[in-house]
Amino acid sequence: MTLSGEELRALLARLEGRGYKAYQEIKGRYELGWFTLLIDRVQPDPYAPPSRLRVRLPMARAGLPPDLYANRVRRLALEDFLLRSFWGALGRSSRGGPGEGYLRVERPSQAVLERSAVMVGPEAVEVRLWAGLPARGRSILGRVAAKLLLEELPRVVEEGLLYANLDARALARQVDLIEDVEAIRAALPERGLVAFVGDGSILPRRSGVDDRPLSAEEAVPFQAPPSLRVAFSVPHGGQVTGLGIPRGITLVVGGGYHGKSTLLRALEVGVYPHIPGDGREYVVTLPSAVKIRAEDGRYISAVDISNFMADLPSGDDTREFSTLNASGSTSQAANIVEALEAGAELLLVDEDTSATNFMIRDARMQRLVSREREPITPFLDRVQDLKRAGVSSILVLGGSGDYFDVADCVLMMESYRPQEVTAQAREVARALPTGRKGEERHPYTPPRVRAPLPWPGGGGEGGEERIKVRASGQLQIGRAESDLSAVAQLVEEGQLRAVGEAVGILLSWADGRRTVRELLAELEAKLEERGLDYLSPYPRGDLARPRRFEIAAALNRLRGLRFRPVR
């Protein structure tokens, strides 16, 4: 049944002063003249999670030029823009205590992601939001609620969504930019590149807790070294020049505090486009790039780390290695193998977050501690095998020159300015041989493929597990935990929520036969076809699209989930 705005007003007036539970009566659908309001769920009391609403604005009303959503990339950029403008319009009306109620929408990060908060469809723009319905104590404040839903909300919809009220130039700029960036991303492979960093980019952030760019006075803009400068012609921006990082093995060297980690961080999040003004708009990384780090303490189940580890003192078989409490080196090895299993084609490694004994073992250490007593084959001795298997690496390494022997490209950061020093590094490698011996116990063998075993709780989709996320990056599925706090390429809490739901679904599919890769591919196909709503039985506005790598990361870290090698 559909009611009018006036009927909603009358209903709320009737509820004035009644017990909070009576708010349940407003659940339903309302035609507010020029848009539709759906009240999907009403909170049971003032302190419960807020009520869930949807606004549906017909496209004819929104007045958005079709050119802004002519393809998927443009539509996502438009949706992101509308969410930000809606959020901005709400912000100006921020309210006080429970006596006034409030409206809220998911807050976006600097990245442009597919989200469930705003969706542009052929017929309507849909916005999903929350309302804290006003009360005094536990009594309904119906007239205040009417103001919130019938005055405040229409004002925000008008200001935040109607094309006539938007900054049309900024909107076109964002949509065009994202399309340009995705054109560069799509062209990377044919140019033999794994990443691009545009000239003039501002990579450093204001602080560890503020992701906005460092101010123009303080930041040194990025400038590509001439020998590695490439140019892309993009559909809207003409020519964009910058650093092209070639396929293969790239080292980023340089003194401490010269901007190495800042560059790598930009490449990590460069798998996502960013909004105009972020400073990293033209930092574009292969979509299959995965940050690799040591993560001691993590859970591992049946991962084939035998290319990196063998003959452990515990006697464990490293072809199917499991632990409740990984060491730095075994966790880093497992992180690599799991990334490859999910389809990674570029590994991003920073010395700051690596296990030293996993990265290097120098000649003197080889002399003192014989190879028989060292289970680890360091990454140095496998990075070229990975390259031959089609997997590139970008390594930040200020501390070890042993990698000069295997590097295809060496970048030196000097006062935040990159120089190419590949030839000099080769010269150094010739003049000062390391004297170390390769420590491979056997030729590189593609890691064994795994399948998750059935999950006792049954999982999501039909299963009964409760899925919860915490801002710190913890996911809880039933009673089991998956700790994603070290997974660097989750940039919004909405992604973490979506990862949680995705894992719930994968658990319901797990049968001990279908491999991780097959399960991820199937889920991804569903997400392509049905969008984020596939992840939830009811419409919710707090999801953002994660990559397959982060979904895999959550599955792999779920304590108690067991895997079995299938070949």
- Name the residues that contact ligand ADP, by CB under 6 A: 203-204, 214, 218-220, 254, 256-262, 413, 416
| Residue 219, binding choice from Mg ion, ligand ADP, none, Cβ under 5 to 8 Å by partner class | ligand ADP
Of 254 and 457, the one with the shorter C-beta distance to ligand ADP is 254
**Distance separating alpha carbons of residues 95 and 147, to the nearest angstrom:** 12
**Cβ nearer to ligand ADP, comparing 47 with 257:** 257
- Residue 17, C-beta contacts closer than 8 angstroms, at least 6 positions apart: 139, 140, 142
Task: Tell how strand 474-477 and strand 480-483 pair up.
Answer: antiparallel
Please name the amino acid found at residue 336. I
- Cα 389 to Cα 132: distance, rounded to the nearest angstrom: 54
- Least distance CB 552 / ligand ADP (angstroms): 28
* CB distance 403 to 380 below 8 Å: yes
203 interacts with, out of ligand ADP, Mg ion, none, CB within 5 to 8 A per kind:
ligand ADP
Percent helix, strand, coil in the chain, to 5, is 35, 25, 40
Q: How far is the CB of 352 from Mg ion (least distance, A)?
A: 4
Nearer to ligand ADP, 256 or 433 (CB): 256
Per-position x/- string for 350-379, each x denoting binding to Mg ion as judged by CB under 5 A, each - no binding = --x---------------------------
Which of these segments, 192-200, 256-264, 420-428, 509-517, binds Mg ion (CB under 5 A)? 256-264
* 261 binds Mg ion, rule: CB under 5 A: yes
Q: Which among 440, 367, 439, 361 has a CA at the least distance from the CA of 403?
A: 361
As measured in angstroms, the least distance from the Cβ of 102 to ligand ADP is 35
From the list 114-122, 253-261, 313-321, 386-394, the region that binds Mg ion by CB under 5 A is 253-261
How near is the Cβ of 423 to ligand ADP at its closest, in Å? Answer: 22
Give the end-to-end CA distance of the chain in Å, rounded to a whole number. Answer: 56
Evaluate whether 327 touches 356 at the Cβ level (below 8 Å): no
Closer CB to Mg ion, residue 247 or residue 260?
260
What are the DSSP E strand ranges found in 6-84?
Answer: 28-31, 36-41, 51-58
383 binds, among Mg ion, ligand ADP, none (CB under 5 to 8 A by kind): none
Q: Please, what is the minimum distance in Å from the beta carbon of residue 416 to ligand ADP? A: 3
Q: How many CB atoms lie within 10 A of CB 464?
A: 9
- Work out the angle at residue 443's Cα, subtended by the Cα atoms of residues 438 and 448, and round it to the nearest 5 degrees: 130
Q: Are 326 and 336 in contact (CB under 8 A)?
A: no
How far is the C-alpha of 553 from the C-alpha of 484, rounded, in Å? 7
Which of ligand ADP, Mg ion, none sits in contact with 220, Cβ below 5 to 8 A by type?
A: ligand ADP
Cβ-based nearer residue to ligand ADP, 168 or 220: 220
**Min CB(221)–ligand ADP separation in Å:** 7
Indicate which of Mg ion, ligand ADP, none lies near residue 354 (CB less than 5 to 8 Å, by partner kind).
none
Of 179 and 278, nearer to ligand ADP (C-beta) is 278
The candidate with the shortest Cα–Cα distance to 108, out of 135, 138, 77, is 77
Least separation, in Å, of the C-beta of 514 and Mg ion? 40
CB atoms inside a 10 Å sphere around CB 218 = 10
User: What whole-number distance in Å separates Cα of residue 236 and Cα of residue 199?
Assistant: 17
Considering the complex, what minimum distance in angstroms separates the CB of residue 274 from ligand ADP? 16
Cα dihedral: 543, 547, 548, 552 (round 10): -70
Output 164 or 216, the one with its CB closest to ligand ADP: 216
Contact string (CB under 5 A) for Mg ion, positions 313-352, x = contact: ---------------------------------------x
Q: Give me the least distance between CB of 450 and ligand ADP, in Å please.
A: 34
Rounded CA-CA distance 465/508 in Å is: 10
Residue number, 200 or 560, with CB nearest to ligand ADP? 200
Rounded least distance, CB 214 to ligand ADP, Å: 6
In single-letter form, the type of residue at position 403 comes to Y
CB of 422 to ligand ADP, least distance (A): 19
Full 3-state SS string of 32-79? CCCCEEEEEECCCCCCCCCEEEEEEEEHHHHCCCHHHHCCHHHHHHHH
CA–CA distance, 183 with 179 (Å, rounded to integer): 6
CB of 261 or CB of 301, closer to Mg ion: 261
Residue 247: name its binding partner from ligand ADP, Mg ion, none (Cβ under 5 to 8 Å by kind). none
Residue 369: Cβ-neighbour burial (10 angstroms; 0-12, 13-18, 19+)? exposed
Q: Which residues are bridge partners to 419 per DSSP?
A: 412
Q: Give whichever of 148 and 411 is closer to ligand ADP, judged by the CB atom.
A: 411
Q: Which does 45 bind (CB under 5 to 8 A by kind): ligand ADP, Mg ion, none?
A: none
Instruction: For 565, list phi and psi in degrees, rounded to 5.
Output: -70, 135
Of the two residues 68 and 202, which places its CB atom closer to ligand ADP in the complex?
202
Residues that bind Mg ion (CB under 5 A): 260-261, 352
